[in-house]
Structure 1
Amino acid sequence: MPFLSQLIGHPADSVAVIDETGEHTYGELIEQARILSAVLKQQIEAERPFIAFLAGRDALSVVSLLAIWLADGIAVPLDPMMPVPEWEWRIRDVDANYLIYAPGKEGDANYLMQRCGIAIIKATGHEAAPPNLITLDQQKEAVVIYTSGTSRYPRGVVHTFGSIEAQVKTLCQAWNWSPEDRLLHVLPIAHIHGLVCGLLCTLAAGASCELMPSFKTESVWEQLASRRFSLFTAVPAIYQYMLDSWSKSTEQQQGNWQRGASALRLAIVGSSPLPPSVHNQWQKLTGKPLLTRYGLTEAGMVLSQQEHGERRPECLGSPLPGVSVRLVDESGNEVNGVGELEVRSPQMFKGYHGKDDLNQRVFDHGWFRTGDMAMLDHEQYRLLGKRSIDIIKTGGYRVSALEIEAMLDAHPGIRECAILGTPCDRLGEAICACVVPLSRHIDLKEVREWLCMEVASYKLPTKMTLLEQLPRTPLGKIDKQGLKRELSSPSQTFLT
């Protein structure tokens, strides 16, 4: 069933979204979106314009998104947590015609209007006759979602209404969404995980989601302690922060928080590799393992563990309904062992905005080249890392950075770590370990000796360094490109 038809079909008085201002029903969201779309239509001159909006975790952002679609526009969600120059870069990249802004953002909106020549429209305070609802053409572009920065510059990923609806349908089926579900939403709506896995699945299922305006570990725990929620989805870093907070809380808090988390039907994790220690701690705390999934901005969710199946921390699950995957070697030949993961499905994006040459390179006869190396492990896929940065070519060997990270993560004195390949005349690339310790009292020589018992000698880091924290992208992924730049500083010291 088309997405808008699903929305209209839900009971108008059912609660769809809860934010700082209160509860918002399906009927209210649709009515407000229709009014705002009428205002947009009065101002729109170009056919199918790009319309940017600040995609905060609030009902107004939901209204803005629906209004853009009802006005036959292409939505460009901007992350409110990003600095204004990042918004400006994205607006210029798609040559957006309009910007919808929320109350309190007049200063930023006027700045962007002057800098980019963009028309600005306030999201509230309008009176207009709402237009008739339209049918969304499956072939039309619906949204431009920017990648989270693992490439040098974010890429504008163009999804059609058809690809978005295919993603939502697949996830609602795989994760058994129902109108009784209630999601605690803590992820950025400007990214595929927060937009599709969180918000749009909620709306398609007729369920409800509570949008937290900002992430604070104690606030999240207190919400979960209410036992109102059946679903929670986050990146590994968020689960790590929550577990750290739990360990420092009072005995009474721990009991309340533990009971709340145990009441979840599903706690979903993805967007970056899951440290085994986080998986094990969460399972020990709640009695239930995290459900790992794998996806990309370009393809939506591709792999997922099953709700009632085996959930190993090192595995990503099997292909979701309607999704085909394969492993290929460097020549593009299908292989049974280790290879690059390629994907084909109705969920696939239309292309990168304004990058025709790149669009031709990333597809191979309909198969999308993810750049991720993987292997099949007992009917579940196991990620080995990005070909460009997580597969280290050292001394004639190919080493998975993720494998060594998983080993180091098990060390009792390490909070988190990152493994990189750095230029080396002798080996081609040297394996460098960046370690964030649980306390300052950690001996890297002892860590290396401990690791000697766990991995082959050619996988041992030849360089190690201590850091207070690892740089991250806006979605919480470790920013390894940024980390490489930090390590190139002459002041950085290493154990060699």
Structure 2
Amino acid sequence: MRLLRFHCIWPLQNLEPCKLQHVQHQQQSSTAADTSTGTDADADRLPSHGRCEPHPPRDTARVQSHLHAAAVVRGGLFSPALFPPHDLRFRSSSSSYSYTTVSRASLSSSLLRLACRRRRISSRSCLCSPRRDVPSPRMLSTLPRLPIFEAVARHDPRSAAVVHSLSGRTFTYGELLADVSRARDRLLDARSGAGLDGERVAFLVENSYDYVVTLLACLAARAIAVPLSPAFPAPELQYILDHSEACLLVSSPRFTPKANEVLATGLASPPTHVELPKHAGGRAPEAVSLDDTDPAGAGLMLYTSGTTNRPDVLTAQSLSLIEAWNYTPADRLLHVLPLHHIHGTVNALLTPLLAGSSIEFMFPFNADAVWRRLAAPFLPATNGTANGTANGTITPPSTNGIVTNGNSSSSTSAAVTPSSQNGTTTTPLPPITFFTVVPTVYSRLLASHKHLPPAVQEAARDAVSPAHMRLAISGSAALPTPVKAAWRDLSRGTVLLERYGMTEVGMALSCGLDPADRVDASVGWPLPSVEARLVDVDTGDVIPEGQDVDPATGRERAGEIQLRGPTIFREYWRNPDATAKEFVTDTDTDKPGRDGSGRPWFKTGDVAVRRPVPSAGHNAAAQPWARGPMYFILGRRTADIIKTGGEKVSALEVERELLSLPEVAEAAVVAVPSGNWGQKVGAVVILDPDVVQKWTPLEMRRALKSRLAGYKIPQVMRVVDHIPRNAMGKINKKQLVKAIFADDVSGDEL
């Protein structure tokens, strides 16, 4: 059974009530089921210059009318809800026209034949000969009432939602939800009516508008979205598909070969493959309605840890960041991160979409390209070249009336003032106001800046200065203090904001927006809606605030960070034992810091200390959550806390001191097994060739003698050319120890 698909374009001012009937037609017109009583007299009801035109099938959701026109169905007013979605469009013949849309509508077969007869065309040619000159309709579809869809629907439809940096293609908020609806219907069609509520939908899509549409389409289908990294080898993707039990594998045309490669592996239950077409952009805004059906099956599953987050958790994470970091529609975020991690997906994608900001994709990261894009709005116009071309690397596109950074394209600011380029009008690129990346990105940008042409160097410094870049954030790994200081100097005063988070909890701690609150080596305070506490790693006792120093030893008390609140994940997928193991519930109130509420705390596995910072936390009027003692991360309990000779050493602290030495370009501090000491502090370093060609362990120890206590100074050191990191700049230290210190049985040599 198949619905006939068509659209009819009739002048609205001449549209009289027509007898319509909701019927289904067999694919073969000769055997079509027709219960209509339409006769030749119905032809007189059609406008004399009306015409029936074919329209390609468009799988959209439900139906409503934008206009005050009504048709009669068996003597009653037309009800959009009667018609499941295909396209029926009415257009006025006047120069100022509008559309009304009936999605997946079926007219009576007799009325269709009559309409075609008036134009002397056959019903078969009407159905099968698509027109290409008809503009896209303003179609009203239906999506579940998720906060992300409510927010997008409220944003200015002319405002840029997503921009492809290198091509300049721009996609507006006005077209986003309609594209999501169409993609959602493609996913549902692939299930042949089985639905997707709570099912896993994995996808391989490049960092682009297509990724945004695919992710949101999964949520719109009430499915659990499973983003895949195209960089993963086929066996790793096979594991994710098997473990998640994905029923669909969605790919963009670019990654269809990769999808086919994965599907050719020995999957336990191969998912159905769906290829979604690329979006060209430029559609007219299309209205989308939101229904109140339960979207509880929707969610996001990230395979950095196998966690599953439901929409309410994702929304809580985003709202917390909007309050803390003040995302607004005026922000333009340059996105250079991978999208299978929470940093790239929640912080840099879902949250700015919720706030109405513009996201500009430039992936994969290239330091030279990033600098030139940042500098582009601040380069002077010379020889008829528009400022913003970055020495020909980037050509700014015309905005065609699209609102950028909260301002219309008629703004007189340097960022959006059209300039002449070779006789044509172009629009210089808007400045980037928001940048959130990992420490490695800042290190590489610092290293490459000196190789830029002088004019680009100066323009780039302007671009990242406090006058133009509202917020620059570092996360996902510890930020070396020397990198933070170097960035402040290069940017003429921008202080990088550090924060703490993980896949299971989203963002949990953050420094404040006031530069005085961005204290070196600190990740700040618990974010709005997040509760945090420290639990002594040895005794299991909660460390009450204000009792952060051991009175017996005078040393700071280190504890595991434990968190709770609406931003915390729900579960590890199909692993209740692991979920239960990572949560602890207070059942007693006789110990300090335990409330007996029964609300579970998540054990992060990260160790920190709290300490008051007199110069910070004085902006309570603007950010009331940013006050009290600040958190300082010592590292992962299993990888960064080195137990040597009865002492505990923070690998991150030692790394910061190593990186402050001019001889060291990169460093990783690890726990090396030792027969005598249990563990010894080991250092893996990359030297700066401009400073030194050779460096011995003894020279290293002398350089650190005045900076660290003796037991913290590395006792073993290896100089290497490369330290492997993952996509987020993190180092697997257990693997590094095995690779670098494999022949050090005891680790007792200097």
Normalised to the residue count of structure 2, the TM-score between the two structures is: 0.63
Q: Larger relative CO (CA 8 A, sep 6+): 1 or 2?
A: 1
**CA deviation profile, 1:334-358 (whole Å, cap 9, x unmatched):** 1133111101110010111121111
- Counterpart in the other structure of 1:260: 463
Deviation for aligned residue 1:140 = 4.0
Match of 1:50 among 200, 210, 220: 200
Deviation for aligned residue 1:249 = 3.0
Is 281-290 or 218-227 further displaced after alignment? Answer: 218-227
Deviation for aligned residue 1:416 = 1.3
Are 1:464 and 2:669 counterparts? no
Deviation for aligned residue 1:476 = 1.2
Work out the CA distance in 2 between the residues paired with 1:30 and 1:173. 25
Match of 1:77 among 220, 227, 233: 227
**CA deviation profile, 1:73-122 (whole Å, cap 9, x unmatched):** 11000122322322222111101110110012222222223333111111
Q: Which amino acid aligns with 2:604?
A: T
- Counterpart in the other structure of 1:354: 574
**CA deviation profile, 1:279-304 (whole Å, cap 9, x unmatched):** 00011111111011110100000111
Are 1:241 and 2:444 counterparts? yes
Structure (1 or 2) with the greater helix fraction: 1
RMSD: 2.2
Work out the CA distance in 2 between the residues paired with 1:494 and 1:394. 12
Match of 2:375 among 225, 228, 234: 225
Are 1:163 and 2:313 counterparts? yes
Are 1:443 and 2:443 counterparts? no
Are 1:10 and 2:155 counterparts? yes
- Counterpart in the other structure of 2:345: 195
- Counterpart in the other structure of 2:631: 381
Whether contact under 8 Å (1:15, 1:208) holds in the other structure is: yes
- Counterpart in the other structure of 2:736: 483
Deviation for aligned residue 1:48 = 2.3
2:151 counterpart SS class: helix
Is 180-189 or 51-60 further displaced after alignment? Answer: 51-60
Deviation for aligned residue 1:401 = 0.8
Q: Which amino acid aligns with 1:442?
A: K
Work out the CA distance in 2 between the residues paired with 1:217 and 1:82. 23
Work out the CA distance in 1 between the residues paired with 2:749 and 2:461. 40
Work out the CA distance in 1 between the residues paired with 2:291 and 2:183. 14
Work out the CA distance in 1 between the residues paired with 2:454 and 2:158. 40
Deviation for aligned residue 1:55 = 4.3
- Counterpart in the other structure of 1:177: 327
Q: Which amino acid aligns with 1:410?
A: S
Q: Which amino acid aligns with 1:462?
A: Q
**CA deviation profile, 1:17-68 (whole Å, cap 9, x unmatched):** 0015500111222111101111211222264210011243100000101111
Work out the CA distance in 1 between the residues paired with 2:353 and 2:221. 19
Match of 1:340 among 526, 545, 560: 560
The structure-2 alpha-carbon separation of the partners of 1:77 and 1:171, relative to structure 1 and needing over 3 Å to count, comes to: same
Deviation for aligned residue 1:135 = 4.8
Are 1:37 and 2:184 counterparts? yes
Match of 1:305 among 511, 519, 538: 511
Match of 1:110 among 260, 270, 280: 260
Deviation for aligned residue 1:178 = 0.9
Whether contact under 8 Å (2:368, 2:452) holds in the other structure is: no
Is 309-318 or 294-303 further displaced after alignment? Answer: 309-318
- Counterpart in the other structure of 1:372: 606
Whether contact under 8 Å (2:302, 2:308) holds in the other structure is: yes
**CA deviation profile, 1:181-220 (whole Å, cap 9, x unmatched):** 1001111111100111101111111110101131100111
Whether contact under 8 Å (1:317, 1:380) holds in the other structure is: yes
Whether contact under 8 Å (2:334, 2:360) holds in the other structure is: yes
Work out the CA distance in 1 between the residues paired with 2:530 and 2:296. 19
Whether contact under 8 Å (1:384, 1:401) holds in the other structure is: yes
Rg larger for: 2
Normalised to the residue count of structure 1, the TM-score between the two structures is: 0.94
Whether contact under 8 Å (1:464, 1:495) holds in the other structure is: no
- Counterpart in the other structure of 2:623: none
Whether contact under 8 Å (2:202, 2:226) holds in the other structure is: yes
Are 1:24 and 2:171 counterparts? yes
Are 1:393 and 2:613 counterparts? no
Work out the CA distance in 2 between the residues paired with 1:95 and 1:270. 31
1:326 counterpart SS class: strand
Whether contact under 8 Å (1:50, 1:94) holds in the other structure is: yes
The structure-2 alpha-carbon separation of the partners of 1:491 and 1:333, relative to structure 1 and needing over 3 Å to count, comes to: closer
Whether contact under 8 Å (2:508, 2:527) holds in the other structure is: yes
Whether contact under 8 Å (1:465, 1:494) holds in the other structure is: no
Task: Among all aligned residue pairs of Structure 1 and Structure 2, give the percentage whose two residues are the same amino acid.
Answer: 35
Whether contact under 8 Å (2:464, 2:494) holds in the other structure is: no
The structure-2 alpha-carbon separation of the partners of 1:130 and 1:75, relative to structure 1 and needing over 3 Å to count, comes to: farther
Q: Which amino acid aligns with 2:172?
A: T
Work out the CA distance in 2 between the residues paired with 1:83 and 1:27. 37
**CA deviation profile, 1:414-446 (whole Å, cap 9, x unmatched):** 001111111111001111111111126132221
Whether contact under 8 Å (1:234, 1:270) holds in the other structure is: yes
Q: Which runs of 5+ in 1 are unaligned?
A: 148-154
Deviation for aligned residue 1:462 = 1.4
Structure (1 or 2) with the greater strand fraction: 1
Is 136-145 or 215-224 further displaced after alignment? Answer: 136-145
Q: Which amino acid aligns with 1:334?
A: V
Whether contact under 8 Å (2:571, 2:579) holds in the other structure is: yes
Work out the CA distance in 1 between the residues paired with 2:748 and 2:663. 18
Q: Which amino acid aligns with 1:443?
A: W
Q: Which amino acid aligns with 2:232?
A: M
Whether contact under 8 Å (2:501, 2:507) holds in the other structure is: yes
Work out the CA distance in 2 between the residues paired with 1:454 and 1:139. 53
- Counterpart in the other structure of 2:243: 93
Deviation for aligned residue 1:133 = 4.2
1:398 counterpart SS class: strand
1:316 counterpart SS class: strand
Work out the CA distance in 2 between the residues paired with 1:487 and 1:341. 30
The structure-2 alpha-carbon separation of the partners of 1:217 and 1:494, relative to structure 1 and needing over 3 Å to count, comes to: farther
Deviation for aligned residue 1:479 = 2.1
Work out the CA distance in 2 between the residues paired with 1:288 and 1:14. 28
Are 1:276 and 2:481 counterparts? yes
Deviation for aligned residue 1:8 = 1.1
Match of 2:209 among 59, 63, 80: 59
Work out the CA distance in 2 between the residues paired with 1:39 and 1:428. 58
Work out the CA distance in 2 between the residues paired with 1:171 and 1:353. 25
Whether contact under 8 Å (1:314, 1:382) holds in the other structure is: yes
**CA deviation profile, 1:437-490 (whole Å, cap 9, x unmatched):** 112613222121111222111112111110112111221112212212212444
Deviation for aligned residue 1:139 = 4.9
Whether contact under 8 Å (2:222, 2:298) holds in the other structure is: no
Work out the CA distance in 1 between the residues paired with 2:494 and 2:278. 46
Q: Which amino acid aligns with 1:185?
A: H
Match of 1:212 among 350, 362, 368: 362
The structure-2 alpha-carbon separation of the partners of 1:33 and 1:138, relative to structure 1 and needing over 3 Å to count, comes to: closer
